[in-house]
Amino acid sequence: MKRSIRAPHLLAALALLTVAAGCVPASDAPAKPAPSPEPSPFTDPGPPLPPPAAPPVRADFLLRGTPEQGAVMLGQAPGGTRTLTLDGQPVPLASDESFLIAFDRDAAPLARLVATLASGQRVERALTVAAGSWRIEHINAPYRGGASSDAEFARRRPAELAEIAAARATPVESDGWRQKFRWPVTGRFSGFFGSQRVYQGKPGSYHSGTDVAVPAGTPFFAPADGVVTLAASAPFTLEGNLLIVDHGMGLSSAFLHCQRLDVKVGDRVTQGQQLGLVGRTGRATGPHLHWGLKWQGARLDPGKLAGPMGEQASGR
């Protein structure tokens, strides 16, 4: 016969088990340190780093080219330049503070470039202008060119000069002045910039461009990008069929004695684009292209922009 466990004995046994469970000895192993919290992206990184140093402001002119009669120079004005002058005459300034200056065939031996900064400070640079060496050329052509008489020349010439002046005064936006210029045609030099001209014994003005002799009908091309500001509808007395292309910043090319013009006023042309055909209209003794350059009233030597003709391939 089985003996039943009475309730008081059962309660006592449960109590002993509870006490025994609470008396289990602790482990001798050291307690593990609590893990470090993950770094928060919002943790304060400390004081901010100083901003990078600003590039130094250009304090003087940067010039490229040689100051000499008939030549062009490109430059960068001092940082913060607001106005620029050459011998007191305003010089156009591009948005990146670059500019072009040039010296006439008869430029004085000393020129002064002045930049006025936003602060009112002036930065000046004196330029010693080297003299050119000019020839004397005797031309067997009448002084009055294509006019039938001196009276006709006197009647027609003022209107022609006014049209040329208006074309050169037309404001133009072009970056052609930044380019390396190319000869519009290649051939034999038959007239040189700056030479004193004598027409059938009568002294005239100096030659304002360079003549390249090629057969009539030879194509000629844009030496740089630009905008057409004059395309003669009828031959002028001296220039014949005249074309003027403005390259921006006041620098313009004139092409004289053309047989045909392939562009019109307002056309935007690109370097190497055909502009027309060489001829012998106006005051010319034979077919050739007269290429003249002008900046702010200064007559310039095309060879100083385009370089030696031998360096340029004749193909287009």
Q: What is the pLDDT along the chain (316 residues), one digit of tens a residue?
A: 444 444 444 444 444 444 344 434 444 555 555 555 555 544 555 667 777 665 667 889 999 999 999 999 999 999 999 999 999 999 999 999 999 999 999 999 999 999 999 999 999 999 999 998 888 877 777 767 778 788 998 999 999 999 999 999 999 999 999 999 999 999 999 999 988 878 777 777 788 999 999 999 999 999 999 999 999 989 999 999 999 999 999 999 999 999 999 999 999 999 999 999 999 999 898 999 999 999 999 999 999 999 999 766 444 4
Contact between 150 and 205 under an 8 Å Cβ cutoff? The reply is no
Residue 196 Cα to chain centre, angstroms: 32
Contact between 308 and 226 under an 8 Å Cβ cutoff? The reply is no
Would you put residue 18 in left (φ > 0), alpha (ψ -120 to 50) or beta? alpha
Bridge-based pairing of strands 136-139 and 72-76 is unpaired
Q: What is the reported pLDDT for 23?
A: 38
Q: What is the reported pLDDT for 216?
A: 98
Q: CB-based contacts of 307: which residues, under 8 Å, 6+ apart?
A: 180
**What are the domain boundaries of the chain?**
62-128, 136-307
Specify the CATH number for 136-307; select among 3.40.50.2300, 1.10.8.50, 2.70.70.10, 2.30.110.10.
2.70.70.10
Q: What is the CATH number of domain 62-128?
A: 2.60.40
CA 166/CA 83 separation, integer angstroms:
25
What's 168's DSSP letter? H
CA–CA distances in Å: residue 217 to residues 273, 279, 280, 287? 16, 6, 10, 9
Angle at 243 between CA 238 and CA 245, to 5 degrees: 135
Q: What is the reported pLDDT for 169?
A: 93
pTM for the predicted model, two decimal places: 0.78
Place of tokens 């780093």: 49
What's 259's DSSP letter? E
Residue 260, both tokens? 């045909």
CA 92/CA 84 separation, integer angstroms:
7
Radius of gyration of the chain from Cα atoms? 41
